[in-house]
A = this chain, B = another copy of it.
Amino acid sequence: MTDTPALANDRFLRALRLQPVDRTPVWIMRQAGRYLPEYRASRARAGSFMNLCRNPEMACEVTLQPLARFPLDAAILFSDILTIPDAMGLGLDFIEGEGPRFQRPLRSAEQIRALSVPDPEDELGYVPAAVRLIRRELAGRVPLIGFAGSPWTLACYMIEGKGGTDFRRSKALLAEQPALMHELLETLAESIISYLAAQHRAGAQALMVFDSWGGILPPAHFREFSLRYLERIAQGLDLGEGDTRTPLIMFSKGANTHLPALADIGADALGLDWTISLAHARELTGDRVALQGNFDPTLLYANPEAIRNEVARVLADYGQGHGHVFNLGHGITPGVPPEHLGALVDAVHEFSPRYHG
C-alpha cells in the first residue's frame, strides 16, 4: 500500500503489539451484520449474501456501516470464511434461515485429492479488490482487519456440506483416515496463507483466523488436526517485525484448555470466548500475546444498565495493562438492538482509561 494517509487511530494495532494505549480499543465480531437495519437494506438490495461479498463496492459499503454509528477502533472486511471452498468449486449457497450449504460437499478421497489452491488474485480477486477499496474509503480513520477461516473449520464445512451439525463425517474421517484428512488440511493451509497474504498486500493492517470449530475436538485431535495448521499459517505468513509488523490474531473458540499452546505458535494475539476469565487467560499465556474478547454476546440482550455492569466486569477481569482488545466472545447476533451495542461501546470508553494509567 502506498499513498494512503497515516492512521488517525492506531489504538487497536498498538494494543495488539502490547504497546501503551490511552484506553482499551474495541471492535465487535460481525459488527457489519444483520442486527443493523442498514445492513439488512443493503443485503436485500444485493439479492444474496454472496453477491454482497463478491461486489467490492457493496462489501465496502457494508464494512463501513457500523463505523458510522459507533466509535469503533477497527473495521473488518465484510466477507465470509467460506470464500476459499467456494473458489475451490464446492458451490456455496446461503439458504435463508439455515446458513451456508455446499452443493458439492467432499464425499470421497478423489474429491479431496482433486482440490487445488485457488489464486487469490483471480478466483478470489474480489476480496483483495474490496480490501483496496475499503482502505481508500477509510482514509486512515481506523485500521482494517482481513480474515480467513482455519483449515480445520473449513474442512468441517466442506465435508459436512453445512454447519450446525455434530460433524460426525469429519470426525469419522479424522479417526478412520487421518492421512487423507491431513492431505485436505495441507491444501487448505496453503490456500489460506496465499489468501491472507493477498489481503495483506492489498492493505489489510491486521489479520485474523477464525478456528470456529477447533473446540469440538478432543485435545489430542485438536493438537494434530487444528493447532498444527494454525501454527503453519502463523509461520508461513511474512508479516514483518517490530513496530511495522502486521498483527495476527488466532481465535480457537472453545479451546481454552489449549491457550498455553496457542500462545506459542507465533500469533500476536488470541481471541477468547466468554467462558474463561481474562485474568486466568493472562496467567495461562504469560502475557506473551495480546488477548481479544470476551463479553458474552447473549448478555447484549440484557438492558443497557446491566450491559454497563458487565463491561466493567470484563475490563476489571483483564485489569491493568495494554494488551487487551475489547470484543465479544463470539459474533453479535441478529436480534440485538443496536442501541445495546452503543451502550457497550460507550461503557468501554468510560471505564477503560483507568486501566491504562
Contact = CB atoms under 8 A, between A and B. Distances in A.
B256 A298 contact: no
Given A257-B257, A257-B276, A168 B301 contact: yes
Contacts of A255: 275
A333 interface: yes
Contacts of A219: 275-277, 280
Interface of A: 166-169, 171-172, 175-176, 215-220, 222, 254-257, 274-277, 280, 294, 296, 298-299, 301-303, 305-307, 309-310, 313, 317, 333, 335
Given A168-B301, A218-B274, 18 more contacts: A166-B298, A169-B301, A171-B302, A172-B302, A175-B302, A175-B306, A176-B306, A217-B296, A218-B294, A218-B296, A218-B310, A219-B276, A219-B277, A220-B277, A220-B313, A255-B275, A257-B275, A257-B276
Residue in A172, A217, A254, A275 with the greatest tally of chain B CB atoms within 10 Å? A275
Contacts of A167: 298
13 contacts: A168-B335, A171-B298, A172-B306, A175-B299, A175-B310, A176-B302, A176-B303, A215-B275, A216-B275, A216-B298, A218-B310, A256-B257, A257-B276
What is the total number of copies of this protein in its complex?
2
A296 to B, nearest CB: 5
A44 to B, nearest CB: 25
A105 to B, nearest CB: 16
A309 B303 CA distance: 50
A212 B172 CA distance: 25
Contacts of A307: 175
Nearest to A171: B298
A288 B333 CA distance: 41
Contact of A257 (B175, B280, B301, B302): B280
Given A176-B306, A275-B215, A296 B257 contact: no
A146 to B, nearest CB: 28
The 7 A-B residue pairs with the shortest CB-CB distance, nearest first, are A175-B306, A175-B302, A168-B301, A172-B302, A219-B277, A176-B306, A166-B298
Nearest to A307: B175
Contacts of A335: 168
A306 B220 CA distance: 14
Contacts of A317: 220
B254 A298 contact: no
A298 B302 CA distance: 34
Contacts of A306: 172, 175-176
B298 A333 contact: no
Contacts of A294: 218
A218 B317 CA distance: 11
A275 B218 contact: yes
Nearest to A280: B257
Nearest to A330: B166
A230 B298 CA distance: 23
